[in-house]
Structure 1
Amino acid sequence: MMREFEVERQFGIKIDNIKANKGVYYLKTNKGERCLKKINYGPQKLLFVYGAKEHLIKNGFEDVDRYFLNIDGEPYALVNEDLYTLSEWLDGRECDFHNIEDVKIAAKTLAKLHEASKGYDPPENSKLKTDLGRWPTLMAKRVKSLDKMRDMVRKKNNKSSFDLLYIKSLDFYKKIGKEALRTLEESEYESLCAIAENEKGFCHHDYTYHNIIIGQDNHISVIDFDYCKREVRTFDISNFMTKVLKRCNWNMEFATAIIDSYNEESPLKEEEYKVLFAYLQFPQRYWRLANRYYYNEVNWGQNTFASKLEGIINEQEEYLNFLGQFKDKYNIK
């Protein structure tokens, strides 16, 4: 009860009803429906996220889960040392990544978001989040860590089904990881980072189906900016593409639809395609799953891990075929 009372007091609302919903709380209040969310990072980072959303709204990109301010004008409530944010509850359905029309409007919306993000100066006392210039180092580190994890497996007496699958598939993903790093190093990545730094834009960094809410008349709202940071826009595009394509058997038609729809709003420069290709090439999902498994990052069962890894491995042929088609279509040397 104390927690609810503190939220009510700090945000100046009266809660009639509260229920947990997919990692957040749905609140029915005297001021309408609200979304209450516990934040697992500090106030400085939160101020960066808050400022980013306000910047988008100011630039005409208004359909975001805007934060309500507390009685002291801050975008959070502090309850027992935990931070909570309050935003409007947005009605609608999650974007369907199997539906090419949904995917097209989501791609267009992402382009509008990137355009509106330009010129963002984070608020005072906020912590600037940036990945600009970091990707060659990150990729090299992640390729190396694939070997480290293999060494961990070799030391185990009883190898799990995940371990055996990992050992068997490692060489394929290590090779493709090195190729992606080479692609990135041979691209105009550094100069594109300099342009992005100059433009002061940012990326959403988690642009996926459950953060793209489609309301009436195909009206899109984008939510959950927790991971937003300064970044080259091709990162967001590749991340979004991968999340769509893994659900559609790496169908080139979906990839082309995403790029064409994005380009309608904000055309990609010729040199951006090679950076985009490097991100698509890098075996991020494979590395991430192994990393989660060997460093106990998530609490999934053995079978879940093994079946997820099997799923990724089973896509190898379609994935390579897609990369070849993409390379040809966008003339990547």
Structure 2
Amino acid sequence: MPYEAKLYKVNDLSEGTLKKTVLPHYAMENAKIEQIKFKDTDKQRAVYRVEYNNEVFCLKKVYFGVQDLLFVYSAIEWLYRNKINVPRLLPTREKGRFVQYNNMLFILTPWIDGIKCSYDNIDHIMASISYLADMHNCSEDFTPVFGSSNRGGFENLANSLQKHFNQLLNCSNLAFKYKDGFSKTYLNNFEENIELAELSARVSASIDKKNLKTSLCHLDYVNKNIIFDNDTRIWIIDFDKCKMDYCVHDISYFLRRLLKRDNTKWNIQTAINALKVYEEKRPLNLDEYRYILAYLSFPQKYWKISRDYYNNISKCNKSSFQTLISKAVEKTEFHAQFIGEFKQYIEDKFKTKL
């Protein structure tokens, strides 16, 4: 039966059920199993900690089909063979790399003991961005196994950002129409945010995509997926979103998650230092810096919150959205200052005007 993306009852994913139906395929009938994560969304997933014979494993229900899973398996194996620390998919009794039960797919990997990357630890940040360069360097020529899906990103950033820019303009029209508390906060912070969005759209339109280097990309390279083990070695986990893509997409995603935090608050020196560390192993050209600038410039949270609010204004919790937009604009000034300084840094580095 082909895999179908559908939701399953919690009972189908109970520890007792999986102990009887999935773990026997790994000869672990007597293992101790504990659910540690469950997301009951359209991409339903579940994660379990399994203990057996003094060893610890991670059992995971994936939310995609066999072809995508084969791509993920291929990516992990490729990286492992190129000396990147990744938890490999363990074989079943039948020598397979996954278990299919009740039209659901499960994988088992070693449990990686350690601590997640701390964004408040500068050594963790620099080691993580350096390791990302290693991953990109070794996977430019990545080829998945036969039967895999052909996972590729390569989104047209300019088209996406222009669309989002237009949505911000539309939200401003709606804000003038509704004139409620949320709309007041939105309009009070509109000028700085629309300037950030305009710069983002303009710079992205100038990128020559032929100059953007490609490789296998993780696409969720954030602190929870970067583990430092007891010997301070880095492990990369959770390749559910991996694709062939522009390397700068991975870099930009990592930096945005790092910089938007309260403790980091768009620190320009942290960003520049991280990029210098990456470039020690993998230099970046002007178009790649344009991509990073455009990606980081767009006011992502301001856009997303306002879009969701006006799309659901008749039924949403207005008080909750008011709290969200108020918190989102707290760092707008820091964001704008960062983008101005980062733009100047790029112009000085490449002796050009953006």
TM-score interval (norm. to shorter): 0.7 to 0.9
Give yes or no for contact 1:203–1:228 (8 Å, CA) kept in 2.
Answer: yes
What is the DSSP-based 3-state SS (H/G/I as helix, E as strand, rest coil) of the residue aligned with 2:49?
strand
Letter in 1 for 2:21: E
Aligned residues: 321
Following superposition, the deviation at residue 53 of structure 1 comes to: 1.0
**Aligned pair in 2 of structure 1 residues 285, 53: CA closer, same or farther (>3 Å)?**
farther
Give yes or no for contact 1:100–1:257 (8 Å, CA) kept in 2.
Answer: no
Give yes or no for contact 2:27–2:93 (8 Å, CA) kept in 1.
Answer: yes
Following superposition, the deviation at residue 21 of structure 1 comes to: 2.1
Give yes or no for contact 2:268–2:342 (8 Å, CA) kept in 1.
Answer: yes
How far apart, CA to CA, are the structure 2 residues paired with 1:71 and 1:302?
Answer: 53
Counterpart in the other structure of 2:252 = 238
Indicate whether 1:272 and 2:277 are aligned.
no
**Aligned pair in 2 of structure 1 residues 43, 113: CA closer, same or farther (>3 Å)?**
same
Counterpart in the other structure of 1:191 = 210
How far apart, CA to CA, are the structure 2 residues paired with 1:91 and 1:252?
Answer: 32
How far apart, CA to CA, are the structure 2 residues paired with 1:118 and 1:266?
Answer: 12
Letter in 2 for 1:56: L
RMSD of equivalent CA atoms: 2.7
How far apart, CA to CA, are the structure 1 residues paired with 2:100 and 2:125?
Answer: 38
Give yes or no for contact 1:242–1:280 (8 Å, CA) kept in 2.
Answer: yes
Letter in 2 for 1:54: E
What is the DSSP-based 3-state SS (H/G/I as helix, E as strand, rest coil) of the residue aligned with 1:265?
coil
Letter in 2 for 1:106: S
Indicate whether 1:28 and 2:55 are aligned.
no
**Aligned pair in 2 of structure 1 residues 204, 285: CA closer, same or farther (>3 Å)?**
farther
> Which of 26, 33, 50 in structure 1 is aligned with 2:73?
50
The TM-score, its normalising length taken from structure 2, stands at 0.81
Indicate whether 1:4 and 2:19 are aligned.
yes
Counterpart in the other structure of 2:90 = 68
1:168-183 maps to which residues of 2 (within 5 A)? 168-170=188-190, 172-183=192-203
Give yes or no for contact 1:13–1:31 (8 Å, CA) kept in 2.
Answer: no
Counterpart in the other structure of 1:287 = 303
1:1-333 maps to which residues of 2 (within 5 A)? 1-23=16-38, 24-30=47-53, 32-61=55-84, 63-147=85-169, 162=182, 164-166=184-186, 168-170=188-190, 172-188=192-208, 190-193=209-212, 195-196=213-214, 201-247=215-261, 248-291=264-307, 305-331=321-347, 333=353
Counterpart in the other structure of 2:41 = none
**Could you say which structure has the larger radius of gyration?**
2
Counterpart in the other structure of 2:7 = none
Counterpart in the other structure of 2:44 = none
What is the DSSP-based 3-state SS (H/G/I as helix, E as strand, rest coil) of the residue aligned with 1:34?
strand
How far apart, CA to CA, are the structure 2 residues paired with 1:322 and 1:269?
Answer: 20
Give yes or no for contact 1:146–1:287 (8 Å, CA) kept in 2.
Answer: yes
Following superposition, the deviation at residue 237 of structure 1 comes to: 1.0
Letter in 2 for 1:187: I
How far apart, CA to CA, are the structure 1 residues paired with 2:310 and 2:112?
Answer: 37
Following superposition, the deviation at residue 213 of structure 1 comes to: 0.6
Give yes or no for contact 1:14–1:30 (8 Å, CA) kept in 2.
Answer: no
Give yes or no for contact 1:14–1:29 (8 Å, CA) kept in 2.
Answer: no
The 10-residue stretch of structure 1 (166-175 or 65-74) with the greater mean CA deviation from structure 2:
166-175
How far apart, CA to CA, are the structure 2 residues paired with 1:74 and 1:162?
Answer: 53
Following superposition, the deviation at residue 307 of structure 1 comes to: 3.3
**Aligned pair in 2 of structure 1 residues 217, 78: CA closer, same or farther (>3 Å)?**
same
Unmatched runs of 5 consecutive residues or more in structure 1: none
Following superposition, the deviation at residue 79 of structure 1 comes to: 2.1
How far apart, CA to CA, are the structure 1 residues paired with 2:125 and 2:64?
Answer: 31
Give yes or no for contact 2:192–2:336 (8 Å, CA) kept in 1.
Answer: no
How far apart, CA to CA, are the structure 2 residues paired with 1:213 and 1:306?
Answer: 35
| Aligned sequence identity (%) | 29
How far apart, CA to CA, are the structure 1 residues paired with 2:86 and 2:320?
Answer: 33
How far apart, CA to CA, are the structure 1 residues paired with 2:111 and 2:321?
Answer: 33
Give yes or no for contact 2:19–2:31 (8 Å, CA) kept in 1.
Answer: no
